[in-house]
Amino acid sequence: MKDFGTVAIVGVGLIGGSVGLALRQRALCERVIGIGRRQASLRIARRVGAITSTTVDLAKGVAEADLVLVCTPVGQIVDLVCQVAHHCPEGTLITDAGSVKQTLVEALDDRLSRGCRFLGGHPLAGSERGGPGNATSDLFEGRVAILTPTRSTRAEDFDLLNLFWSKLGSVVIQMTAEDHDRAVAMTSHLPHAVAAALAAAMPETYFRLAGTGVLDTTRIAGGDPVLWGQIFALNRGNVLAALDRFAGCVSALGDAIRKGDQAALEGLLKLAKKNRDALGS
């Protein structure tokens, strides 16, 4: 079954590479063209089997694409999608894997040239270890992939991307870009900010005393600072609101400890445990 024809992936890092690997291992397309800026990354992506062929020339790379997926850091997506729309076949569907959606959708929805359309996507998968060398074909299995259609979105475009992420093993959820950005500010961007603040607060002299708890709690702080700086900037309002909500919980915990109010303290810890247990493992 070759559902998706020629798929061009712009940006072959962890996400782009894993999409390529998954498409090829499941024989879901004819070809995967990897497009990147650095030959070194493209070479790794070829070596791990993520792509059929590679190029650093965007125009050439998308020239025969049936579907284009932009998997670069989120700050570059708008510009790249516009470039893609100039060079891909007329009427091509372009999607992305960016962690922020509203600014992208505002800039790109119903605005592309030559009959091309943009439909935003966001697979909730990743790792603090980026790059195509860490790509795996099962990265999206059992994970949620969010699509953010608008009033302009064609049903067949939505159906195609719904099929795309479903075939990679994901559970597809449809949200508005606005709802998406508010939700992931809490579930993804806030945890990153918290992990980063905790790692930044840690005095070097105590590193040797780090147990599994602090390692787990700070793990995602090992992610790319530039990428995350872009995400926070592009989702500023929601991230600040999430930080405020979190700061309220930290204050409540601190107050209970300060006052020696064990009932309040245990109440908060019980709510935390209840929520954490419900999140699963």
Alpha carbons 60 and 74: distance in angstroms, whole number: 22
The residue type of 238 is N
Q: How far is the CB of 128 from a second copy (least distance, A)?
A: 8
Pairwise CA distance, residues 22 & 62, whole Å = 20
- Residue type at position 126: G
Segments in 142-235 forming alpha helices (H) = 155-167, 177-184, 190-201, 212-218, 225-234
Nearer to a second copy, 150 or 217 (CB): 217
Between 65 and 193, whose beta carbon lies closer to a second copy? Answer: 193
The least distance separating a second copy from the CB of residue 86, rounded to whole angstroms, comes to: 28
Please state the closest distance from residue 134 (CB atom) to a second copy, in A.
Answer: 13
Query: Is the Cβ of residue 27 or residue 249 nearer to a second copy in the bound state?
Result: 249
Contacts of 65 (CB under 8 A, 6+ apart): 6, 7, 8, 33, 88, 89, 92
Give the nearest distance from C-beta 221 to a second copy in angstroms.
4
Rank residues 63 and 197 by Cβ distance to a second copy and give the closer one. Answer: 197
Distance (Å, whole) CA 121 – CA 177: 9
| Residue closer to a second copy (CB basis): 56 or 186 | 186
Question: How long is the chain?
Answer: 281
Q: Looking at beta carbons only, is 107 or 264 nearer to a second copy?
A: 264
CB of 103 to a second copy, least distance (A): 13
Q: What is the smallest separation between the CB atom of 18 and a second copy, expressed in angstroms?
A: 13
Q: Determine the number of helices (DSSP H) and then strands (DSSP E) in the chain.
A: 12, 8
Q: Which residues contact 206 (CB under 8 A, 6 or more apart)?
A: none
C-alpha span between 24 and 20 (Å, rounded): 6
